[in-house]
């Protein structure tokens, strides 16, 4: 496993960690000043702006962009809605290309309004992923499916398991020497899965691990969406999962992504960045 103390440049900050309190330009500078090597911005900070200028600012700060968050949810109640979702994602993928993002991070969506048919939602996700993969290749952007914790299966992601994401990769892309379709691993979503180790080993062997997000699962968790913890403050054995990914060949960024309305989002971003740096060494 890599020694992150010696490689701060292997670490990245997902801007959601900082609660979107400051303008993106300030965040870019703060992340660079704190010694990170990467920054993963969100569409809410980018869309409607001069994307080329943001990309330049990130480059000039010496940062890379491991991923661009995140897809518009794919499943819809009808075909027109599905196609509109695909179109929105195509535009986002074009922005990801402008940003030089290594991948476009797909949070696939849950059940369309009124539906109880999770199999149908999953079928829409598979079809939509195939369409977006073609678009991503054309723009030089890899597509990273991010399985989310099953607590979000209804409303955010009908894709829950790493093994499910790999099955989609298999079905769409098959074996590939240089895959364009892969997975983004987030310890919050996968720590509990008894099949995780095997799935990560397979994803690594197939070179499909495109991202690795870290945070922690707090006990108790007050809010499953916005009460995530700093690495070390919860029950996830983060080093074990990083070890699995790196043993499987992952060499990309370790990206901190913490949704924390009651704690970290209330702190000055410089303080949060300093703690992230420390915990990446001591608890990741």
User: Could you say whether residue 88 binds its own copies (CB under 8 A)?
Assistant: no
Task: Give the nearest distance from C-beta 172 to its own copies in angstroms.
Answer: 16
- Piece of the chain touching its own copies by CB under 8 A; list 5-13, 69-77, 91-99, 110-118: 110-118
- Piece of the chain touching its own copies by CB under 8 A; list 5-13, 113-121, 137-145, 265-273: 113-121
User: Could you say whether residue 224 binds its own copies (CB under 8 A)?
Assistant: yes
Tokens 């149908």 sit on residue: 120
Measuring CA to CA, which residue among 238, 215, 256 is closest to residue 39? 256
CA angle at 32 for the pair 65 and 52, rounded to the nearest 5°: 45
Find the binding residues for its own copies in span 121-140 (CB under 8 A).
122
Task: Give the nearest distance from C-beta 13 to its own copies in angstroms.
Answer: 24
Task: Give, in order, the Cα–Cα distances in Å from 26 to each of 33, 156, 238, 266, 277.
Answer: 10, 30, 29, 17, 18
Contact characters 149-188, its own copies, x per CB under 8 A: xxx-xxx--x-xx--x------------------------
Q: Please, which residue, 118 or 134, has the CB nearer to its own copies?
A: 118
- Residues 120, 131: Cα–Cα separation, whole Å: 17
User: Could you say whether residue 226 binds its own copies (CB under 8 A)?
Assistant: no
User: Could you say whether residue 201 binds its own copies (CB under 8 A)?
Assistant: no
Q: Please, which residue, 52 or 195, has the CB nearer to its own copies?
A: 195
Find the binding residues for its own copies in span 240-279 (CB under 8 A).
none
Measuring CA to CA, which residue among 188, 257, 253, 217 is closest to residue 17? 257
Task: Give the nearest distance from C-beta 198 to its own copies in angstroms.
Answer: 13
Q: CB of 49 within 8 A of CB of 21?
A: no
- Residues 125, 164: Cα–Cα separation, whole Å: 11
Sign of the alpha-carbon dihedral angle for 157, 163, 166, 170: negative
Q: Is 15 helix (H, G, I), strand (E, B) or coil?
A: helix
Tokens 């991503």 sit on residue: 136
Residue 191 has which token pair?
């720590």
Task: Give the nearest distance from C-beta 227 to its own copies in angstroms.
Answer: 12
Q: Please, which residue, 147 or 252, has the CB nearer to its own copies?
A: 147
Measuring CA to CA, which residue among 103, 177, 88, 157 is closest to residue 133? 103
Q: Please, which residue, 158 or 254, has the CB nearer to its own copies?
A: 158
Binding site for its own copies (CB under 8 A): 111, 115-118, 122, 149-151, 153-155, 158, 160-161, 164, 191-194, 217, 219-221, 224, 234-237
């Amino acid at each position: 496993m890599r020694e992150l103390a010696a490689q701060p440049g292997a670490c990245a900050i997902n801007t959601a960690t900082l609660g979107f309190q400051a303008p993106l330009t300030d965040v870019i500078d703060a992340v660079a000043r704190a010694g990170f090597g990467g920054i993963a911005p969100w569409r809410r900070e980018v869309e409607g702006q001069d994307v080329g200028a943001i990309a330049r600012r990130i480059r000039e700060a010496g940062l890379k962009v491991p991923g661009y968050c995140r897809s518009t949810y794919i499943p819809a109640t009808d075909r027109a809605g599905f196609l509109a979702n695909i179109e929105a994602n195509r535009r986002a993928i074009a922005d990801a290309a402008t940003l030089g993002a290594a991948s476009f991070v797909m949070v696939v969506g849950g059940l369309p309004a009124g539906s109880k048919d999770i199999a149908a939602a999953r079928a829409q996700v598979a079809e939509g992923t195939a369409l977006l993969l073609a678009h991503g290749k054309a723009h030089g952007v890899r597509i990273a499916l991010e399985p989310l914790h099953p607590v979000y299966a209804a409303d955010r992601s009908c894709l829950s398991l790493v093994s499910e994401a790999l099955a989609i990769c298999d079905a769409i892309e098959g074996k590939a020497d240089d895959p364009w379709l892969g997975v983004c691993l987030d310890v919050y979503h996968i720590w509990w899965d008894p099949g995780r180790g095997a799935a990560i080993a397979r994803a690594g062997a197939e070179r499909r691990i495109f991202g690795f997000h870290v945070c922690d699962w707090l006990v108790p968790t007050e809010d499953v969406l916005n009460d995530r913890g700093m690495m070390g403050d919860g029950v996830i054995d983060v080093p074990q999962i990083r070890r699995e990914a790196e043993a499987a060949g992952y060499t990309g960024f370790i990206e901190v992504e913490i949704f924390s309305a009651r704690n970290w989002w209330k702190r000055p971003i410089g303080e949060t960045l300093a703690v992230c740096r420390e915990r990446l060494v001591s608890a990741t």
